[in-house]
A = this chain, B = another copy of it.
Amino acid sequence: MTGSPAPTRRPRSSGRATLADVAQAAGVSPITVSRALRGERAVAPELVERVQQAVRLLGYVPDPAARALASSRSSHVAVLIPLLSNALFVDLLDAVQRSLLPAGYQTLIGVTHYDPAEEEALLRSYLLHRPAGLIVTGFDRTEAVKQLIAGSGVPCVHVMETVAAPGIYSVGFSQSDAGQAMTQHLLDSGRRRIAFAAAQLDPRTLQRLQGYRQAMQAAGLVDSKLEWLDPQRSSLALGGALFEQIRREAPDVDAIFFNNDDLAQGALLAALRLGVKVPDQLAVAGFNDLTGSDQMLPPLSTVRTPRSAIGAEAARMLMALMRGEAVERPQLDLGFEIVRRGSS
């Protein structure tokens, strides 16, 4: 019974309910619907109720693309991390997503492979999408890239480290304090020739090295020959290789502090293979308390880092910033914990 002439143009709409549909159903204007939905300003409570009913009735869901185009801001949060193969960052991400997803934000994950150039490229690409927010790892970037972030106007939270700087938001802990504390723990348990073995050599690893040096310095035991710094990627195999190398080149070393648990785990396995008794002949310590460290033989002493809490707090801080709220504590230090197990 449609007496009207067939339309000349095929409609381009997706068939989903639109803001206009909701407005019509609720008997208000589209702008009022828009405002009611975003909780902006005080729309009359009665209208809000009518709008919400219409939304339910029609199963209306806002179109993210239209929203992004009109407001110059998407519902995406870009998260830049160095690596996905380090459980540390997986835990961080998991916590971030768990907070952001229920709030309606989609997470874009960028892996930088510890390469500032790669990070810059990702950042430029993501910024084109006008993300609602940004989470980046650490502070190791060029002045140009910092300007790029600041100039974009996109709220940004830095994770893993903290820094006191105006307009900079960060959630993390002091990597150097953690390095110092573990070294001190080894000193306190009577070790003297404590080696520091590190891979990757990213900024946070080097901060831990500083902490190690401070503790050794204070004890009057500094010896640069005790530092093994390998730029290769961290792995169990590399940990084993470093262990053998240190045993060979410095037989008097009585403790090794590895900058990541995978290295330390590899070292413990190498010790088993070589028949080196840990901790009797040699203490071994790691960093991060990764999966499996408590299962090793002996269980690995390590530094437990609060990456899940960092992720959750960073998400919370970012959401406040995205809502335009003031953040009372722009710099959040979540600390760390020395976990003493059998290996030290």
Contacts and interface: CB of A to CB of B under 8 A. Distances in A.
Interface string A65-76: 110110010100
A241 B68 CA distance: 51
A64 B237 contact: no
A69 B72 contact: no
Contacts of A269: 295-297
Interface residues of A, number: 46
A265 interface: yes
A101 B87 CA distance: 23
Interface in A77-112: 84-85, 87, 90-91, 93-94, 97, 101, 106-109, 111
A129 B64 contact: yes
A273 interface: yes
Q: How many copies does the complex hold?
A: 2
A292 interface: yes
A84 B311 CA distance: 15
A266 interface: yes
A165 interface: no
A261 to B, nearest CB: 11
B107 A236 contact: no
Contacts of A91: 85
Contacts of A295: 236-237, 240, 266, 269
Nearest to A108: B106
A58 interface: no
B108 A291 contact: no
A90 B84 contact: yes
A74 B76 CA distance: 13
A63 interface: yes
A144 interface: no
Contact of A65 (B97, B101, B130, B265): B130
A294 interface: yes
A61 interface: yes
Contacts of A63: 69, 128
Given A107-B109, A273-B297, A292-B265, A84 B74 contact: no
Interface string A264-275: 011001001100
Interface string A253-290: 00000000010011001001100000000000000000
A128 B61 contact: yes
Nearest to A78: B106
A126 B61 CA distance: 12
A235 to B, nearest CB: 7
A273 B269 CA distance: 13
Given A64-B68, A237-B295, 19 more contacts: A14-B130, A61-B128, A64-B128, A66-B69, A84-B93, A85-B91, A85-B291, A97-B111, A106-B125, A107-B109, A108-B108, A109-B109, A236-B292, A237-B294, A240-B295, A262-B291, A265-B292, A269-B297, A273-B297
